[in-house]
Structure 1
Amino acid sequence: MPKFLIQATYTPEGTKGLLKEGASGRRSAVDQVVTGLGGKVEAMYFAFGADDIILIVDFPDPVSMAAVSLTVKASGALHTRATPLLTLDEIDEAARRQVAFRAPGM
């Protein structure tokens, strides 16, 4: 299953919701969304600094991740970014593939 790192920052409205609902309430909401699309939450942490929340999630396919991303961003409660995570085996496979490439000016 594809794995993704999600980093998010709450907007002021989203922060108000977090204060009202608490961290466990948000975890339940995240679990419901992810499992509803056939995925799994591997880890969920709250932080302070540039990001307010960090998750590692598994989804059956990238389209499921995109669907969640679009829906969450449309809510206006969070600013998010998702990074696909690759295993060592996947990088080894990528390194074995031949790619025809010519650098600019070469």
Structure 2
Amino acid sequence: MPKFLIQATYTPDGTKGLLTEGASGRRAAVDQVVTGLGGKVEAMYFAFGEHDIVLIVDFPDPVSMAAVSLTVKASGALHTRATPLLTLDEIDEAARRQVAFRAPGA
């Protein structure tokens, strides 16, 4: 399954919701969303600094990740960034592929 790194920052309203529900309440909500689309939460951490929460999730396909991203962003409670993660084998495979490319000005 494709794996994604999700970094999120709560808006003021999202932070109020976190204070009301607590971290375990948010974890339950995340689990419900991810498993509902056939995915799995590998890790979930709260943080402070630029991002308030960091997750690693598996989804059956990138469209599932996009569906979650659109829905979460539309809520206005979080600003998110999802980064696809690749395995070592996937990068090795990419390195073996021939790509026709000409650099600008070359």
TM bucket by the smaller chain?
Answer: over 0.9
Mapped partners of 2:14, 2:104: distance in 1 = 45
Deviations 1:21-63 (A, max 9, x none): 0000000000000000000000000000000000000000000
Q: How does 1:1-106 map to 2 (within 5 A)?
A: 1-106=1-106
Shift of 1:8: 0.2
Stretches of structure 2 that go unaligned for 5 or more consecutive residues are: none
Q: TM-score, normalised by structure 1?
A: 1.00
Q: CA RMSD in A?
A: 0.2
Matched residue pairs, number? 106
Mapped partners of 1:58, 1:21: distance in 2 = 25
Mapped partners of 1:6, 1:54: distance in 2 = 6
Superposition misfits of 4+ residues, deviation over 2 angstroms: none
Shift of 1:67: 0.2
Mapped partners of 1:94, 1:43: distance in 2 = 26
Q: TM-score, normalised by structure 2?
A: 1.00
Stretches of structure 1 that go unaligned for 5 or more consecutive residues are: none
Mapped partners of 1:18, 1:104: distance in 2 = 48
